[in-house]
A and B are shown apart, each in its own frame.
Chain A
Amino acid sequence: MVFNSVTFLIFIALFFPFYFATKGRLRTWICLIASYIFYGWWDWRFLSLILFSTVLDWWFGVWLTYKDAPEETRDRWQNGSPVLQFFGKITEAADRLHLSRKAILVSSMAMNLGFLGFFKYFNFFADNFAALVSSFGLTPSWTTLNIILPVGISFYTFQSMSYTIDVYRRQIAWEPSLLRFATFIALFPQLVAGPIVRAADFLFQMQDDKRFSWTNFNSGFGRVLWGFFKKVAVADSLAPFVDQVFDSPQSFGSLHLLIGVFFYSFQIYCDFSGYSDIAIGLARMMGYNFPENFRTPYFSKSFSEFWTRWHISLSSWLRDYLYIPLGGNRHGKWATYKNNMLTMLLGGLWHGANWAFVFWGFLHGLYLILQRAIAPVWRRFVRVIRLPKVADDVVAMATVYSLTLLAWIFFRSGSIGLAGGDSFATANQILVGIASLEGFGFEAVVNKFQVVKGVLLIGILLVVEVTNVRFRWNVWQVRNPVWRMAAFAGLLWLIAFFGTFGANAFIYFQF
C-alpha cells in the first residue's frame, strides 16, 4: 500500500475515526493492527519477520534491564501483564547463561544485522565471493537464492537496534509494554521508508493519549499535502526524463544528460523528503512529533553540513551508533579520516547490495576527508583575497551541489538493479557523455516539454522551501484560516494540474 494510492486514502479515512474515538490500550491496539494491515498489504509473509524481530528486541531490552536491576525488574513483571510475566520467566531462565550486558547487546545486533544481511546482502556477497574464487581459477558451485527483500527492513531494523543500544547505554529506560514497543516499531507513517525514529524521541510520546486538536490536524494535513505535491507532482514528473537518460545514455547529447542528472537530484530529494513530509504530517495529525528528516540539503556549504540536512535520521543514527563509537574525531586526523570513510561506506551499503552504492558512499567519505584537509587552506585563501561572504557561500554551495550530483550518478546507476559492472558502465557513459559537450545546445534536447515542466516545478519547490525558512508557511496556515484555505487549495490545484497518478512506488522503498 503506497501513500499515493486510493487504497491508502480509504485506509486513512477508516483509521482516523477509530483512532480518535478510542483511548488507552485500545487506541494502541488500533494503531498496531492498522500498521500491520498497512505493512502486510505489501506481502503478508513480511509480518512474521517484523513480529519476530520486534518481540526479540523488546525481550533483549527486558533482559538488559534485568541485568542492571534484577529485583526491581522482577517486581515490575510480576505486577505486569501476562506477556511481561511470561517473558520475565524466560529472562530468568536465560540469565542462567550468565551472559554479560555486552554479550546480550551483541546478540541483539547479531540477530538484527543477521536478518538484514541475509535478506538484503546474501546474493550480493555470494556473487562476489564466487567471482573472487573464480579469479583464482576455481569454479565454485554456488547457488544464489531467490530472496524477496522485505519492504522497510533497513528502516525498522535500525530503529529497533537504536532501542537496545540506548537501553544498554542506560540512555533510556526499558519499555515494559510489548504492545507499545511493537507499535513504536511498526507505526505505519514511518515503517516503510522512515524517518528512523529513535525510541528516546518517541516512546515517551506514547505514554499519554493524544486528544484531537485542530492545530495538530491542520498542521499535519498541510504537511501531508506538501509531501504529496513533492512526490506526485515533482518527483514523478521528473522520473520519465531521468529514466530515459539512465536507460540509454548513449542516445542523448551532453546537455540532455546533464539535465537528466540535475532532474534526478530533485527527483530523489522530492521523492524521499515528500515521503518524510507525509509521514511527519500523518504523525502530527495523530498528535505525535516525528523528527525532521531534511532541511534544504542542496543549500549546504560543506559536506559535514550536507549530512546534517539530508536523511537526517539515518546520518544521525550512523553518527551516534557507528562514527562516535569508532572514535569519531577524537583520535587524530588519520583516525578521523578512517572513521569518516568507514561510516560512509557502510551508509552506502545500507542503501543496497550493489557496488555502485558502496562507491557512492566512498565518494561522500572522500568528500568529507578532502573537506577536512582542504578547509584550512581555503579559509586562508578566502582571507587573503578578501572574498565577500556571499561569494564564499555561493562557491561553497555550488561545489557541494556539483560533487553531490556526481555521486548521484553512481547512486542512480546502482538503483537500476544492475550488477556492479553494468552500473559503473552506465555511470561512465553518462559522465563521458556530459564531458564530451557533444549536443550541448537546447535543440539537441529531446522532450523539451518535460524539461520546461520539470524546471517550472523545481522553481516552485525552491521558492516555497527557501522562503519557508524565513516565513514558516506551515505556521501561518495553522494560525490563519484564510491563508490555510488558499494554501490547501493551491496545493490541491497544483497536484491536479501537475501530478502523476500511477501509484508509483517511492524510491526509498527499495532500500
Chain B
Amino acid sequence: MKHALWFFSFSLFLFSGDRLAGYFLQKQIEKSQFRYSRLYSGEAGADILLLGNSRGLTFYQPYIEEITGKKTCNLSYNGLPMDGAKALTLDYLDRYPAPQKMILDITMCDRENDELLAGFLTYSGKSNHLDTLINNKLPKVWWGGRVSALFRYNNEIFQRALFHRNKTDKDWLLDRAIAPQLAAEVRSNSYDLEIHPYLIAQLKEIVAVARVKGVAVELVISPYFPDFQVKNLDSLKNAVEQATGLTVRDYRSALSDPADFGDFMHANKKGSLKYIDLLKRDGVIP
C-alpha cells in the first residue's frame, strides 16, 4: 500500500513539476526578442519578409532597413528546410498584413532537417502549421512534446530564444573571417546540393499563397566563396524556376573577395553589405 501511495505521489509530483517548469519556460520565450517569439506575439510586422537557412542570415536587417527605410522581418535559421520555411511563412501571412516583398534563398530546398523541425516544437503551441508539420513528419517528437512540457524546450531554438530574451536578434550574422589555410584549400573542397522534389513543392506552395495575397516574391541564390564548387546548383535553379514560374536571381559568384566570407558557404558582415547593395541595385530589395 505504501509503495502504491509513493508511486501515485511520485507520478503527481513528476507531472506537476514538468508542467510548472514548462509554463515558466513558455513565459520566458513569450517575452523574448527572438524572431519567432516576435512572430507569434504580434511584433514582427514588416514590409520585407526574408527567409533562408544560415545563408539567409546574410540578409542583414539593420543595413536593409537603413538603405530602404522599410521594416524587415528575417525568419532565417541555420539549416532551415523549405517545409519549415513554408509553415513560418503561412504563420506570418495569417497574422500580419501582406508584406510588400518576400525574398527567399532557394538553397533551403537542399536538405530536409528533421532535427531542426523538432526544435520548432517550442513554438508548436502557437502555430497550427508547425504543429501539423511536426505531427506528420516526426510523430514521436510530437508525442514527446505532449507527454513532457520540458521536452518541448529541449532544443537550440529555445536556447536562442532565451539568449535573445532581452537582446535583439536583428543583427544576427555569421561574422568571422575565413582562415587563410582553409581559403587556400577551396579547390579541394566542394558541396553536393541535393534536389528534393518534396521541398521544391513546398516552395511552389509558398509562391502560390504569396501571389494570392499580393506579395511580390524574389527567389535568390546567395553568394558562395569564389571558386567553391557547389554541385547540382544549376539543376536546383532550373527545377525551382520550372516549378514556380519565377526567375531565380543568381548571386552565387557575386562576391570575388575572399575577405567577404567566413567560410566557403557564408558571407560575413562585410560580404553581406556588398550583397545587399547588389540586391538593391537589381531591385530585389525595393
Chain A: minimal CB distance from B80 (Å): 16
Name the one of B18, B150, B160, B263 contacting A251, with C-beta atoms under 8 angstroms: B263
Is B159 on the interface with A (CB-CB < 8 A)?
Answer: yes
Q: Closest residue of chain B to A452, judged by CB?
A: B159
Is A136 on the interface with B (CB-CB < 8 A)?
Answer: no
Are B154 and A489 closer than 8 Å at their CB atoms? no
Is A148 on the interface with B (CB-CB < 8 A)?
Answer: no
Are A449 and B17 closer than 8 Å at their CB atoms? no
Chain A: minimal CB distance from B149 (Å): 8
Question: Given the interface contacts A452-B159, A453-B159, A498-B154, does A489 sit within 8 Å of B3 by beta carbon?
Answer: no
Are A497 and B13 closer than 8 Å at their CB atoms? no
Bound form: Cα–Cα A437–B163 in Å: 28
List chain A residues, Cβ under 8 A from B9: 485
Which chain B residues in 148-204 approach chain A with CB under 8 Å?
148, 150-151, 153-154, 156, 159-160, 163, 176, 179, 181-182, 185
Name the one of A250, A453, A493, A501 contacting B182, with C-beta atoms under 8 angstroms: A250
List chain B residues, Cβ under 8 A from A444: 176
Q: How many A-B residue pairs have CB under 8 A?
A: 52
Is B21 on the interface with A (CB-CB < 8 A)?
Answer: yes
- For chain A, the bracket of interface size reads 20 to 34
Q: Closest residue of chain A to B262, judged by CB?
A: A446
Are A496 and B154 closer than 8 Å at their CB atoms? yes
Name the one of B6, B14, B156, B263 contacting A489, with C-beta atoms under 8 angstroms: B14
Are A493 and B3 closer than 8 Å at their CB atoms? no
Name the one of B6, B18, B160, B163 contacting A496, with C-beta atoms under 8 angstroms: B18
List chain A residues, Cβ under 8 A from B3: 214
Chain A: minimal CB distance from B91 (Å): 24
Name the one of A214, A250, A253, A443 contacting B185, with C-beta atoms under 8 angstroms: A250
List chain B residues, Cβ under 8 A from A438: 179
Chain B: minimal CB distance from A235 (Å): 15
Question: Given the interface contacts A251-B263, A485-B6, A485-B10, does A493 sit within 8 Å of B17 by beta carbon?
Answer: yes
List chain B residues, Cβ under 8 A from A250: 179, 181-182, 185
Is B139 on the interface with A (CB-CB < 8 A)?
Answer: no
Residue-wise interface mask of A (486-511) relative to B, using a CB-CB cutoff of 8 A (1 in contact, 0 not): 00110011001111010000000000
- Between A and B, 23 residue pairs with Cβ closer than 8 Å are A250-B179, A250-B182, A250-B185, A251-B179, A251-B182, A251-B263, A253-B179, A438-B179, A439-B179, A443-B176, A444-B176, A450-B156, A452-B159, A484-B6, A485-B6, A485-B9, A488-B10, A489-B17, A493-B21, A493-B150, A496-B148, A497-B154, A499-B154
Q: When A and B form their complex, which 8 residue pairs have the shortest distance between CB atoms, in order from nearest? A: A496-B150, A496-B148, A497-B150, A449-B159, A489-B14, A496-B151, A485-B10, A497-B154
7 extra interchain contacts, Cβ-Cβ under 8 A, other than A253-B179, A497-B150? A250-B185, A251-B179, A439-B179, A452-B159, A485-B10, A489-B14, A493-B14
